[in-house]
Amino acid sequence: MSKAPSDCVAVESGGRSFVFYIDKDGLISVLRGPDSGAEVQGDGANYGAIFVKIDDKFIATHDNFQIMAAVAYEDNNGDRQAGFFCFSALMFCTIRLYYVNKRKVLEEICRTNGQDWYRGTLGSASNQTANTVADGSCITANVQRSSGQLKVFFSKKEDAPRMSCAYVDLGKKNWSTRIITPDDIAW
C-alpha cells in the first residue's frame, strides 16, 4: 500500500486549481486541474500529476519538515517574465510555494504566467535573510493586498517558540523578518 502525501496545499491561478503535495520520497509534486469551464470526467481524470522541477532538478524537502504553504495572486506590478498574460494585458499570475529545504532553511519557488518554475529570493544565497526553521514549526502564507506585501509565517530557530513573519513588498526581492508574537505567549 502506498503512503498518503505528508502535506498538501492548494491555490487557484489562471482559472485552474493546483494541488501541491509532498510525495513518499519528500519531493514536491503538483496535481494540475483542468482549465476553468472544462468538462469534468471521472475520478482523477482531469488532474495531471507532475513533479515540480527547476533546471531539471527535483525540489526536495527536509526529512523532518515535510510542510509547505502556497499563495497565488494577480499583480500588475510583479515580475515581468515572458509569457502569456493572465486575464488582461495588465495582470501577471504568480504562484509562490514555501517549504523547508535540506538545510532546514525556509525557501521559495515561483511560477509566473504558466512559465517554468524558478527560485525566489526567500532562502536564496543572495538574500541576506536566512530563515532556519525551528523543529516542530508550521508554515503559512498570505498576500496582504492593503499593504502590498507577501508574508510567510513560521517559527525561526533562534526565536522559537515565538512566531516570525518573513515579508516582502510585491514586485520587490529583499525580504525582511520580524517576530510577531510576545515573549509570554503560551502555545
Q: Which residue has the higher pLDDT, 11 or 49?
A: 11
Sorting pLDDT into bands at 50, 70 and 90, what band is 42?
Answer: low
Q: What is the DSSP letter of 158?
A: G
User: Please, what is the end-to-end C-alpha distance for the chain in angstroms?
Assistant: 36
Half-sphere exposure of 22 (CA within 13 A, CB side): 21
Q: What is the mean pLDDT of residues 98-114?
A: 93
Q: What is the mean pLDDT of residues 97-123?
A: 93
Domain ranges of the chain: 8-36+45-135
Question: Which three three-digit cell numbers place residue 48?
Answer: 495531471
Q: What pTM was computed for the model?
A: 0.86
Per-residue H/E/C for 43-112: CCCCCEEEECEECCEECECECCECCEEEEEEEECCCCCCCCCCCCCCCCEEEEEEEEECCCCEEEEEEEE
pLDDT digits (tens, 9 = 90+) for 5-15: 888 999 998 88
pLDDT digits (tens, 9 = 90+) for 146-181: 888 999 999 999 998 899 999 999 989 899 999 999
- Helix, coil or strand: residue 37: coil
Q: What is the CATH number of domain 8-36+45-135?
A: 2.120.10.70
